[in-house]
Structure 1
């Protein structure tokens, strides 16, 4: 039988329980990483971003500007650190710019 939460559980606790029980964390991470990229990079970079995809612990970002891709490639470690700080845990270990 399913565990019943008490009447005083917060909505956040209930959602965390649902995510954990149904193994939805990987899907939530994909959404959270996209949102973190958009928030951290701003409109300038987002205008040239065509696709953001998380596979395992690797973040793949497709950019339409070769110049921007080259510029961002110098700061991959910083991007990983910023995204993980935004999410509050280590989700991304590597960034691949396409």
Structure 2
């Protein structure tokens, strides 16, 4: 009887390979950043957030409150570090508040 070579891999490795072969990582990052924004910012900020878009390494956030936008301008560096820490790697380098 001939033995076959073991072709078994953990599912996480297979999924990572599929994501990299199909170039799905930017889309996965965009979804993860949107979820991180919602979980980190809380209800107060989430209620005034109209849109969260990741383009490259820049996060664009559209807010309906100019007062909140000005308040968040002071904490841009902290927002970037919190989101990157939540994701476990550096995805966002800059935040643009609109």
Q: Same fold (TM over 0.5)?
A: yes
Alignment match, 1:55: 55
**Alignment partners' CA distance in 2, 1:30 and 1:38:** 13
Q: How many residues align?
A: 93
Q: TM-score, normalised by structure 1?
A: 0.90
Cα distance in 2 between the residues matched to 1:47 and 1:72: 14
TM (norm. structure 2) is: 0.90
> Structure 2 matches for 1:62-73, cutoff 5 A?
62-73=62-73
Structure 1 residue 17: Cα displacement: 1.1
What secondary structure sits across from 1:47 in the alignment? helix
**How far off its partner does 1:87 sit?**
0.6
- Over residues 22-80 of structure 1, what are the superposed CA-to-partner deviations in whole Å (9 max), with x where a residue is unaligned? 11111111111101101100111100000000111100000001111010000000000
State the secondary structure of the residue aligned to 1:43: helix
The structure 1 segments of at least 4 consecutive aligned residues displaced by more than 4 Å after TM superposition are none
- Structure 1 gap ranges (5+): none
Which residue does the alignment assign to 1:92?
92
Structure with larger Rg = 2
CA distance in 2, matches of 1:33, 1:51: 12
